[in-house]
Amino acid sequence: GAGVSQSPSNKVTEKGKDVELRCDPISGHTALYWYRQSLGQGLEFLIYFQGNSAPDKSGLPSDRFSAERTGGSVSTLTIQRTQQEDSAVYLCASSRTGFGNTIYFGEGSWLTVV
């Protein structure tokens, strides 16, 4: 079966531009997560969607970051007015409903801000 799919796999953008990163979770998974992986920062939680509940946005680093999930499936992470410190790998993950379920990760979107 298909895993978590992310696009684009690589993105180079100029400072100040907006970018959108897309995530298509595993079919049937109601929970969706975004993490950021950057040098020196490890893996940072950004945002968590669970079904129709309000998302947990507690990890978003600034108001330039936002995410939405349409129809309980595909999610888009948007970074406005990108800065060089936004350069990182953005990992999307999904899981079935319920505490303790395994979280499956996509290959990531590599973002470079120049």
Partner 1 sequence: AQSVTQLGSHVSVSEGALVLLRCNYSSSVPPYLFWYVQYPNQGLQLLLKYTSAATLVKGINGFEAEFKKSETSFHLTKPSAHMSDAAEYFCAVMGETSGSRLTFGEGTQLTVNP
Contact set with partner 1 (CB under 8 A): 4, 31, 33, 42-43, 45, 48, 50, 56, 91, 93, 95, 98-108
Question: Smallest distance from the beta carbon of 97 to partner 1, in angstroms?
Answer: 9
Q: What angle do CA 74, 76, 77 make, to 5 degrees?
A: 145
Question: Smallest distance from the beta carbon of 14 to partner 1, in angstroms?
Answer: 24
Residue 13 or 50: the one with the smaller Cβ distance to partner 1 is 50
Residue 74 or 89: the one with the smaller Cβ distance to partner 1 is 89
Query: What is the rounded distance in angstroms from the CA atom of residue 17 to the CA atom of residue 78?
Result: 11
Question: Smallest distance from the beta carbon of 85 to partner 1, in angstroms?
Answer: 19
Residue 53 or 78: the one with the smaller Cβ distance to partner 1 is 53
Question: Smallest distance from the beta carbon of 17 to partner 1, in angstroms?
Answer: 24
* Tokens linked to 100: 């303790």
Residue 71 or 100: the one with the smaller Cβ distance to partner 1 is 100
Instruction: Note whether 97 and 51 are within 8 A (CB).
Output: yes
Q: Would you give the distance in Å from CA 55 to the centre of its chain?
A: 13
E strand map for 5-81: 5-7, 10-13, 19-24, 31-38, 42-50, 65-69, 75-79
